[in-house]
Structure 1
Amino acid sequence: MTATLALSRRLRPILAAAVLAAGWALAPAPASARGPEGIADVAEKVIDAVVNISTSQTVEAKGGSSENRGANPQVPPGSPFEEFFDDFFKNRRGGPGGRGGADNSPRRTNSLGSGFIVDDSGVVVTNNHVIADADEINVILNDGTKIKAELVGVDKKTDLAVLKFKPPRQLTVVKFGDSDKLRLGDWVVAIGNPFSLGGTVTAGIVSAKNRDISSGPYDSYIQTDAAINRGNSGGPLFNLEGEVIGVNTLIISPSGGSIGIGFAVPSKTVAGVVDQLRQFGELRRGWLGVRIQGVTDEIAESLNIKPARGALVAGVDDKGPAKPAGIEPGDVVVKFDGHDIKEPKDLSRMVADTAVGKEVEIIVIRKGQEQTLKVKLGRLEDNEKVQQAAIKKDEPAEKPQTQKALGLDLAALSKDLRTRYKIKDSVKGVVVTGVDQASDAAEKRLSAGDVIVEVAQEAVTSGVDIKKRVDQLKKDGKKSVLLLVSNADGELRFVALSLQ
């Protein structure tokens, strides 16, 4: 090792001379290798508009059992991290704030998140989950000034909230940019309050757009590798012009720390939600009154749609705007208000973002032909009712006569079968009484108690009807058959089964 180092020192003048003679320059790596130079300018420009959100609430303590204590990270007594872990892990979970003790009396807990100012009157945007269930909300400015805030409104579906506080002085505000203009690889800057450390700046790139992670009905996240951790929630994601192009909301991490996969609600969504919350204190979303599902390759083949695209209408609400407009189950919506529909999420987002009462043009494919319909949107009501699954009895009162087809045992609906599977009287068709677990039907999650309403868009009333339709489709060279299937409550869906 020593010999190698000594040789290197003797060679340095020679190597340096050779480099200079060749016209090369020994210079530090260009700034672009570490990121764009504009990050510091962005941070300096906007950091005073980024705030910490402090909330407190009264919770019922769970007691100080050894199981609860053992779930928290263990740190040496007197460690500088002891207070941090006691506050962050124990208080947030409602456990005892000090060591030992099993005090079960209600206690106050605190949590911290992030937000940003969008109006100099003191309007702040953050995440709903940052302030949910809080008894008291405070905004902490970048200089440490703490001010009590009131809630203007929340939208749980996009996890956004708007707050208002009385400004103590002139405020720095930020404006929204156009998230639709983002490209993969664009640099972005996140500013927030990770782990209650205070204003922190991180940078990264746009890793993906329109990401659906099944966290809500309108998922269309920006994915970034800028470091986002607990406490960053509600904080802004900036482009290099200092415009907010997203609100940092979620991370994927087994440890709770950043692993380079963070998600932000795009500014196009945020701006519309914020405007409505400020104006109405609630969201007023458009409503079409249909239940939709994806168009798989098998369904597209059955409906003669090439390529597979759009949103398949599985059901139409009797009281919704779609019914008087002429939309029917089996229609595939391929265009809404001039915009192409590639998948169901596109339609859900577009309808929700359209003004209540607006008349829009919808193009559907019905039995292989395009049709143009006009519909006046209603308003989506947020009832969020949870439907209970029907309890099925193990044995019927009487064994029904069945017909086998497509890996299914099929029987005509009878009073006994309606009672057995709790099928509503309004549901018509052929009931499934058994499923071959090796069949395509089992893979597509058909189960006993489901009711087949249509086969290849023709109504059926018996297992014999289904067998005849299937045999004819096989003779016609079809590769799959499209079934309209109802559950016991009458909710419809389309299922394509292979005929091979």
Structure 2
Amino acid sequence: INTAIFSTSGGYMGIGFAIPSNMAKAVMQSIIEHGKVIRGWLGVTIQNITPELAKHFGIKEDHGALVTDVVKDGPAEKAGFKRGDLIIEFDEKPVRDSTNLRNMVANTPPGKRVAVRIIRDGEEKILYVVLGEFPDNLAAVSPSEYNNVMRGVYVQEITPDLRAKLDIPDKVKGVIVTNIDDDSPAYGVLQRNDVIQEVDRKTVESVKDYKDALSGIGEDEGVLLLVYRKGGYIYITIKP
């Protein structure tokens, strides 16, 4: 489904942007049946596997999604997933990278039992997981949701468990960074577990606040963030 065109001439010549029709069809069907978009949830944070990471983990594969964290009491933890697992196959389909896996999980209905092939400590294993429904308080910004410097940054609300686990004071409000795609402009600047409190001087106390603040940032604009990190506050600039 065509959505936009980038053209320097003002005519219908240039780079076209489109949404896969199967994705749009699934979203439409979910809204018709449930009144909202229902997505499957695995309960892990993931990143792409790089040659350097593969070497350190003793992995020969150059594809897949590397598990960086497992959500407590989530579907993946109950199925036995661990940090450092490399997911190479989901529901009998090969996993190219982290974005590919996110899309496959999101398009799988909650409650379905899925076989997931992983590599752990150099050995292949198959884990069986019953997908959950993506919780409202774990909302994340996908790489394609905003075409600006914060693309590929995943955040969620600060839950009581996370606040206790990371020793975040009650007075600290904001959204917590759960993952950053390695092709994001924020990669290497933001860190996992950073708490974003302001976006361009706008206060952020929820995922909705975060998304609202991002919606006003253009493709070629930088952004100023106020971040709580390891007991202190710092200002960070993300450049396009």
Q: Please say whether Structure 1 and Structure 2 have the same fold, judged by a TM-score greater than 0.5.
A: yes
Corresponding residue number in structure 2 for 1:378: 132
1:341 CA drift (Å): 0.5
Task: Indicate conservation of the 8 Å contact 2:65/2:98, yes or no.
Answer: yes
Is 1:293 aligned with 2:47? yes
Task: Indicate conservation of the 8 Å contact 1:303/1:367, yes or no.
Answer: yes
Is 1:424 aligned with 2:194? no
Distance 2:190 2:133 in 1: 34
What code does the residue aligned with 2:56 have? Answer: S
1:346 CA drift (Å): 1.2
Alignment partner of 2:33: what SS? Answer: helix
Alignment partner of 1:299: what SS? Answer: helix
Map 1:62-461 → 2, pairs under 5 A: 247-253=1-7, 257-383=11-137, 384=139, 424-425=166-167, 445=188
Corresponding residue number in structure 2 for 1:405: none
Alignment partner of 1:374: what SS? Answer: strand
What code does the residue aligned with 1:445 have? Answer: G
Distance 2:188 2:56 in 1: 19
What code does the residue aligned with 2:81 have? Answer: I
Distance 1:272 1:330 in 2: 31
**Alignment TM-score, normalising by the size of structure 2:** 0.58
1:302 CA drift (Å): 1.5
Alignment partner of 1:355: what SS? Answer: coil
The alignment of Structure 1 onto Structure 2 pairs a total of residues equal to 157
What code does the residue aligned with 1:349 have? Answer: N
**C-alpha spacing 1:309/1:251, structure 2 compared with 1 (3 Å):** same
1:281 CA drift (Å): 1.8
Distance 1:377 1:448 in 2: 28
Runs ≥4 residues deviating over 6 A: 446-450
Task: Encode CA deviations 1:449-500: one digit per residue, 9 max, x unaligned.
Answer: 99xxxxxxxxxxxxxxxxxxxxxxxxxxxxxxxxxxxx749xxxxxxxxxxx
1:264 CA drift (Å): 1.6
**C-alpha spacing 1:283/1:267, structure 2 compared with 1 (3 Å):** same
What code does the residue aligned with 1:424 have? Answer: L
1:306 CA drift (Å): 1.7
**C-alpha spacing 1:300/1:264, structure 2 compared with 1 (3 Å):** same
Task: Encode CA deviations 1:11-53: one digit per residue, 9 max, x unaligned.
Answer: xxxxxxxxxxxxxxxxxxxxxxxxxxxxxxxxxxxxxxxxxxx
What code does the residue aligned with 1:329 have? Answer: R
Task: Indicate conservation of the 8 Å contact 2:8/2:14, yes or no.
Answer: no
Distance 1:288 1:387 in 2: 15
Q: Unaligned stretches of 5+ in structure 1?
A: 1-246, 389-422, 427-443, 451-486, 490-500
**C-alpha spacing 1:326/1:260, structure 2 compared with 1 (3 Å):** same
Percent identity for Structure 1 against Structure 2: 41
What code does the residue aligned with 2:94 have? Answer: D
RMSD (CA atoms)? 3.1
Distance 1:345 1:448 in 2: 19
Distance 2:21 2:120 in 1: 36
**C-alpha spacing 1:281/1:288, structure 2 compared with 1 (3 Å):** same
**C-alpha spacing 1:333/1:448, structure 2 compared with 1 (3 Å):** closer
Q: Unaligned stretches of 5+ in structure 2?
A: 141-154, 158-164, 169-186, 194-228, 232-240
Task: Indicate conservation of the 8 Å contact 1:449/1:488, yes or no.
Answer: no
